[in-house]
């Protein structure tokens, strides 16, 4: 383990977080809110740790996959702990476990909250809460790739550790160039959404915070009723952008460089859109009696399907009251998730495609043992290593899910609440069903259960293995 480069990068992460906190400080000045001083104190604390770690550049700047996983995990943990300080210092969330839960939920773009009254928070706290979604959506370490040149395939190793999906590929010869373009696309789409929401009569503050939540597919809102109080126009705009941010950003990269054929024949994106369409139509028909007519049912179904499959977690209605079939569809969408390479969570559509095609291949081999069959996506053969890692991921995912659910049962809540609470946090969704439905929150869980779900949120965002490697003794051996 090259500890010097790990600490060096963590130092830069903390310095960046201090820079990010200047924005809620500015919001506090605009609205003349005394709670802004909590961010000023946190900025000083973050810089006191970060600057000493970055003053001296490490002699050995080689950065391999092991360092990538460890740095990613530790960075996200520290980022969340430091980011929770303003909530504690200001007194809005006095319980440190609750404050960390809320902040981890923000950075991992989960959107699960322990707050009973969101509207009681000051503007600067609401802004920071939503801004953590935007920071965590594309990944703060991916942003760091633009700034810090490293050696030994280091950029790619860092990107692999943080980027969602079964595999990560270079879009350009330099990974830093790929990261720069992806971030520019991310910023451009966020700005477009803000402008469109402003056209719908939304205030600048709400347009900013809700766009941050949509872009990061997070789901923190500024009102207790989430998105229900806004116009149909604003709800439609948010629906469209939730779905767009759930698309693999490589597709936008290909469109930008006019590689139309590759972009529009992406099997994962086509499957993703078909799942959304089929789910929306099924819920529209099944839950039609909950609305005044088919148009309203379709619009509300499309919003919730887009919100759940992209793991954004916004709500316009209490889907906890929908028929059982509609609720079951939403639970299934929680596990499918968005596309790989997007800001969405969940298992990812690409993994399900690989698993389904692997099963189909095995069935054909049973009938024709001597035939040679390959798993293909977009006409390209999927490497055995990718298939193997997908299988291992799914087993690990089920194991973590089962252990987490067992630990939460000690709080003695009903099975649906416990099951969907784990599903909502491990898949980075936000709301579940019953007590953790769209009108509920996670405040009633014990501190122990909240710590389990904090781990689940981090593990879900970082694709499980970076967090698990922290508990492996050989990870920490110095070379």
pLDDT, tens digit (0-9, with 9 covering 90-100), for 319-365:
988 999 999 999 999 999 888 888 888 889 989 999 998 888 888 88
Query: In angstroms, how far is CA 354 from the centroid of its own chain?
Result: 22
Three-class SS of residue 244? helix
pTM, two decimal places: 0.91
**What is the band of 4 on the pLDDT scale with cuts at 50, 70, 90?**
confident
Identify which of 60, 200, 28, 6 has the alpha carbon closest to the alpha carbon of residue 124. 28
Burial label, 453 (beta-carbon count in 10 A; 0-12, 13-18, 19+): buried
Identify which of 217, 229, 225 has the alpha carbon closest to the alpha carbon of residue 438. 225
Q: Find the mean pLDDT for residues 442-460.
A: 95
Provide the b/e sequence for 416-431 (b: ≥16 CB within 10 Å): bbbbbbbbbbbbbbbb
The mean pLDDT of the chain is: 87
Q: Are 438 and 404 in contact (CB under 8 A)?
A: no
Rounded Cα–Cα distance for residues 71 and 138 (Å) = 17
Query: What integer pLDDT is reported at residue 300 of this predicted model?
Result: 94
Q: Quick one: how many helices (H) and strands (E) in the chain? A: 21, 2
Three-class SS of residue 2? coil
pLDDT at 158 over 60: no
- Could you tell me what percent of the chain has a pLDDT over 70? 91
6: CB partners within 8 A, 6+ apart: 67, 70, 71, 74
- Could you tell me what percent of the chain has a pLDDT over 90? 53
Write out the two tokens for 7.
């600490």
The angle that helices 349-367 and 267-286 make with each other, rounded to 10 degrees, is 100
Query: What integer pLDDT is reported at residue 62 of this predicted model?
Result: 65
Query: What integer pLDDT is reported at residue 173 of this predicted model?
Result: 43
Rounded Cα–Cα distance for residues 134 and 40 (Å) = 21
Task: Tell me the pLDDT tens digit for each residue of 8-45.
Answer: 888 988 999 999 999 999 999 999 999 999 999 999 99
Rounded Cα–Cα distance for residues 259 and 250 (Å) = 11
pLDDT at 172 over 60: no
Residue located via tokens 């690409």: 350
The angle that helices 65-90 and 3-20 make with each other, rounded to 10 degrees, is 40
Residue located via tokens 């460890």: 70
Q: Are 302 and 278 in contact (CB under 8 A)?
A: no
Q: Between residues 173 and 259, which one has the greater pLDDT?
A: 259
Query: What integer pLDDT is reported at residue 168 of this predicted model?
Result: 46
Helix H, strand E, coil C: the string for 172-210 is CCCHHHHHHHHHHHHHHHHHHHHHHHHHCCCCHHHHHHH
Q: Find the mean pLDDT for residues 381-399.
A: 88
pLDDT at 94 over 70: yes
**What is the band of 162 on the pLDDT scale with cuts at 50, 70, 90?**
low
Residue located via tokens 């402008």: 195
Identify which of 304, 313, 198 has the alpha carbon closest to the alpha carbon of residue 296. 304
Write out the two tokens for 92.
């809005």
Rounded Cα–Cα distance for residues 111 and 128 (Å) = 13
Q: Are 66 and 475 in contact (CB under 8 A)?
A: yes
Query: What integer pLDDT is reported at residue 81 of this predicted model?
Result: 94
**What is the band of 374 on the pLDDT scale with cuts at 50, 70, 90?**
confident
Task: Tell me the pLDDT tens digit for each residue of 178-223.
Answer: 777 888 899 999 999 999 999 999 999 999 999 999 998 988 989 8
Provide the b/e sequence for 299-334 (b: ≥16 CB within 10 Å): bbbbbbbbbbbbbbbbbbbebbebeeebbebbbebb
Write out the two tokens for 3.
């500890």
Write out the two tokens for 324.
């059982």
Task: Tell me the pLDDT tens digit for each residue of 130-153.
Answer: 999 998 887 777 666 666 655 445
Task: Tell me the pLDDT tens digit for each residue of 269-324.
Answer: 999 999 999 999 999 999 998 888 899 999 999 999 999 999 898 999 989 889 99
Q: Between residues 180 and 455, which one has the greater pLDDT?
A: 455
Query: What integer pLDDT is reported at residue 152 of this predicted model?
Result: 47
Query: What integer pLDDT is reported at residue 167 of this predicted model?
Result: 55
Residue located via tokens 């993703």: 272
Looking at residue 167, the DSSP 8-state letter turns out to be -
The angle that helices 123-138 and 65-90 make with each other, rounded to 10 degrees, is 170
Alpha helix (H) residue ranges in 21-122: 22-30, 37-54, 65-90, 96-107
Query: What integer pLDDT is reported at residue 157 of this predicted model?
Result: 54
Looking at residue 62, the DSSP 8-state letter turns out to be B
pLDDT at 249 over 60: yes
The angle that helices 3-20 and 140-147 make with each other, rounded to 10 degrees, is 110
Q: Between residues 159 and 336, which one has the greater pLDDT?
A: 336
Query: What integer pLDDT is reported at residue 284 of this predicted model?
Result: 95
Q: Find the mean pLDDT for residues 373-384.
A: 80
Three-class SS of residue 430? coil
């Amino acid at each position: 383990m090259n500890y010097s480069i790990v600490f060096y990068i963590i130092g830069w992460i903390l310095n960046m977080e201090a820079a990010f906190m200047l924005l809620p400080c500015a919001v506090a000045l605009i609205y003349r809110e005394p709670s802004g001083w909590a961010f000023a104190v946190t900025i000083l604390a973050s810089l006191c740790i970060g600057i000493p770690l970055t003053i001296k550049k490490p002699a050995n700047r080689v950065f391999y996959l092991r360092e990538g996983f460890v740095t990613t995990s530790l960075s996200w943990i520290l980022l969340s702990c430091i980011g929770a300080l303003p909530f504690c210092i200001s007194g809005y969330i006095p319980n440190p476990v609750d404050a960390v839960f809320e902040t981890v939920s923000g950075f991992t773009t989960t959107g699960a909250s322990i707050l009973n009254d969101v509207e009681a928070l000051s503007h600067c706290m609401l802004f920071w809460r939503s801004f953590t979604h935007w920071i965590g959506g594309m990944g703060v370490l991916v942003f760091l790739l633009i700034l810090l040149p490293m050696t030994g395939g280091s950029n790619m190793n860092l990107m692999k550790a943080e980027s969602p999906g079964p595999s990560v590929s270079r879009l350009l010869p330099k990974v830093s160039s790929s990261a720069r373009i992806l971030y520019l696309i991310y910023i451009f789409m966020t700005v477009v959404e803000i402008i469109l929401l402003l056209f719908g009569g939304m205030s600048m503050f709400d347009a900013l915070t809700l766009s941050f939540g949509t872009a990061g597919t997070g789901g923190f809102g500024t009102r207790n009723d989430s998105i229900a109080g806004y116009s149909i126009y604003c709800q439609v705009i948010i629906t469209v952008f939730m779905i767009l941010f759930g698309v693999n950003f490589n597709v936008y990269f290909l469109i930008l460089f006019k590689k139309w054929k590759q972009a529009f024949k992406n099997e994962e994106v086509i499957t993703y859109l078909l799942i959304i369409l089929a789910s929306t139509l099924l819920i529209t028909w099944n839950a039609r009696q909950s609305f005044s007519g088919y148009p309203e049912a379709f619009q509300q179904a499309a919003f919730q399907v887009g919100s759940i499959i992209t793991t954004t977690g916004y709500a316009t209605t209490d889907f906890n009251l929908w028929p059982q079939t509609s609720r079951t569809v939403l639970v299934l969408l929680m596990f499918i998730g968005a596309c790989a390479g997007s800001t969405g969570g969940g298992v990812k559509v690409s993994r399900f495609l690989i698993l389904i095609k692997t099963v189909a291949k095995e069935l054909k081999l049973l009938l024709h043992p001597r035939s040679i069959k390959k798993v293909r996506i977009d006409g390209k053969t999927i490497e055995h290593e990718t298939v193997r890692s997908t299988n291992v991921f799914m087993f690990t995912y089920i194991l973590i899910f089962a252990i987490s659910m067992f630990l939460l049962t000690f709080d003695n809540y009903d099975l649906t609440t416990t099951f969907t609470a784990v599903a909502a946090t491990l898949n980075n969704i936000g709301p579940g069903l019953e007590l953790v439905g769209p009108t509920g929150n996670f405040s009633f869980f014990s501190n122990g259960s909240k710590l389990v779900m904090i781990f689940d949120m981090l593990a879900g965002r970082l694709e499980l293995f970076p967090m698990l490697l922290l508990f492996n003794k050989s990870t920490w051996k110095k070379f």
